[in-house]
Structure 1
């Protein structure tokens, strides 16, 4: 590092994750090739604290860690996310595929890695079925097509129509024009 340069939070996340990965590989004798493991961070991630992607052509696993999760979790909880993704990296490197099946769960238990991570951000939108007796709902963190144009989609359970709620304001809509109206009415609160 030269004069005037400073570490970013992303540098800190990757540095701590790499150190923890070395410790885990050594302590648990986890056969992960750290030389074939790349690290990234995501400032956009809202649902997943981490993800492991596999490039079969290059035989390289890339672990992507969510900056917001790092900021919201204490280190022990975030370290468990790193261990979870290391199990995926191990599966990819050893078997060319990964999931949350029996093999994953057994190895994750050995490393005290959770199957799922605690939510670290609240969804911006809630989708709810309008049919009587149907309790289907879904959440979204971004204004996806089903959020912007709900009239073009249907309930994931019964196939009826649904409404979208802007979670912070409680404003709802069932059409694209309703979405536009809500966005316009909320202005900076959007």
Structure 2
């Protein structure tokens, strides 16, 4: 393979592996690197990384998102790599992983963020309609609450919610409002 044959995905994996090796050496985190695989995805829309565990093979696969790599500064993306390394460590040591106290302790040692920031703007914003509540949620896909907000309630106070199409600013509170907005926006949806 020549330098011309290398892709951005190859660059992402190479930089991530080098960073992982440095982190593991500097922080004495016991990860079996032979049981650690790397992938790059272009499908993710909000998460910069993920770690999947294959229990039958006892292999952790760190999946990094190309769009996040392209948008973040290296230090931010390196934080994503460290975050996913903690998940890989938990999977290899305990067969499970989450964001609990064990994760937080190791993430602090590696100076890894507990949660990785999203790298894209949401398509939809859900908001509480109560005047004294500031609850909101972001969505990247037309989930059930986006399509039928009248079937759901505020996550904080239980009041009715509305959904806003982020690009257009148009909002709706029902399934028919969703359909009407989608039809009205046409190609701008």
Q: Quick one: structure 1 residues 7 and 181, their matched pair in 2 at CA, closer, same or farther if it must change by over 3 Å?
A: farther
> Is 1:20 matched up with 2:19?
yes
2:152 aligns with 153
**TM superposition score normalised by structure 1:** 0.88
Residues 30-66 of structure 1: CA distance to partner in whole angstroms, max 9, x if unpaired? 2111111121222232332211122222211111112
Matches within 5 A, 1:56-135: 56-135=55-134
Give secondary structure in 2 for the equivalent of 1:155. coil
Give secondary structure in 2 for the equivalent of 1:98. coil
Cα-Cα RMSD? 2.1
Q: Which moved more, 1:31-40 or 1:96-105?
A: 96-105
Give secondary structure in 2 for the equivalent of 1:121. coil
2:37 aligns with 38
Shift of 1:172: 0.6
Query: Number of residue pairs matched?
Result: 189
- CA distance in 2 between counterparts of 1:18 and 1:50 reads 14
Residues 108-164 of structure 1: CA distance to partner in whole angstroms, max 9, x if unpaired? 222221212233211111111223433322110111121122223222233332111
* Stretches of structure 2 lacking an aligned partner (at least 5 in a row): none
Structure 1 outlier segments of 4+, above 6 Å:
none
- CA distance in 2 between counterparts of 1:111 and 1:133 reads 40
- CA distance in 2 between counterparts of 1:83 and 1:149 reads 38
- CA distance in 1 between counterparts of 2:181 and 2:104 reads 43
Residues 72-116 of structure 1: CA distance to partner in whole angstroms, max 9, x if unpaired? 111121111101111111111112222223332222222221212
- CA distance in 2 between counterparts of 1:64 and 1:90 reads 15
* Stretches of structure 1 lacking an aligned partner (at least 5 in a row): none
2:186 aligns with 187
Shift of 1:26: 2.4
